[in-house]
Amino acid sequence: MKTEALDPRYRDLDLWPTELAVEAMLEGQMAAIAAIQSQTLAIARAAEAAAERLGDEGRLVFVGAGTSGRLAVQDGTELYPTYGWPMERMAFLMAGGLDALTEAQEGAEDDAEAGRAEIDALRVGPNDVVIGVAASGRTPYTLAAVERAGELGAVTISVANNVGSVLLGAAQYPLCAVTGSEIVAGSTRMKAGTAQKAMLNLLSTAIMIRRGLVHEGRMVAMRISNAKLLQRGQGMVQDIAGVDADTAAHALQAAGNEIRLGVIVALGKSVAEGEALLRENGGNLRNALKALEGRD
């Protein structure tokens, strides 16, 4: 595997001046991002398929081991505060359990049976989207989980860093950034990890966009949990509805700090009318505003 191979250029890395070592590592990070360029179409197709399949009930299921698993969990957990994606519509399968997020669980990644069993325990089905992440593309736990999810009819997406790996072949939508040898041999938390995190960012954000949770480049479904976000939310309502600051603030408060609902309330509709309008349009604010314009 290229991700595990020793690059002879860095055999004496421990003897280099620290600044040169850091420069070399930075070059590796930039190369990792560049490796994703060939995957933009594949990421877009995976996102479109996932967004369509999720519907009103489907779940996003993130699967991985070690660094790859931690990156997958990090990406998924950010979707609720950023886009309001319900936590009950997400699941995280980490080899060795969630304790492995902070402490390595030796041998857990080799337990293929656990991967299959945990997919079964979640009752994964055709409405779900399962995303498996492994730098090597052959981690038994992750591979088994993705294979089992596919058997159960879920949309399966894989993220890996080795061309031709079995994980890529097991998923309907394979995503592969070829990052090659690491500067510190086998330390896939570096280039491979950087590419994985970026691909996950792109994939999950594209899914949220296609689910209608972004309006005019704004996170209109975000959870307001502090003063800074409240101010941001009020600004969104003010700009989108075209009202003054006081009207926006009162509308958002009446809407229970739900930005999309606040926009509709700021336009003169009741909370009940706004909720119905959003429900009829699947939570998509753009479509709701078009429907409102048509009614008026």
Distance CA 262, CA 153 (A): 38
Q: Is residue 258 flagged as an active site residue?
A: no
Is 52 annotated as catalytic?
no
Q: In degrees rounded to 5, what are phi and psi of residue 125?
A: -145, -170
Q: What is the DSSP letter of 181?
A: S
Rg of the chain over all Cα atoms, to the nearest angstrom: 22
Instruction: Please state the φ and ψ torsions of residue 174, each to the nearest 5 degrees.
Output: -85, 135
Please tell me which residue in 48, 52, 78, 273 is annotated as part of the active site: 78
The residue annotated as part of the active site, out of 109, 118, 182, 258, is 109
**CB within 8 Å of 88: residues ≥ 6 apart:** none
Four-point Cα dihedral 104, 106, 109, 115, nearest 10: -90
The dihedral sign for the CA sequence 124, 130, 133, 138 = positive
The set of catalytic residues is 78, 109
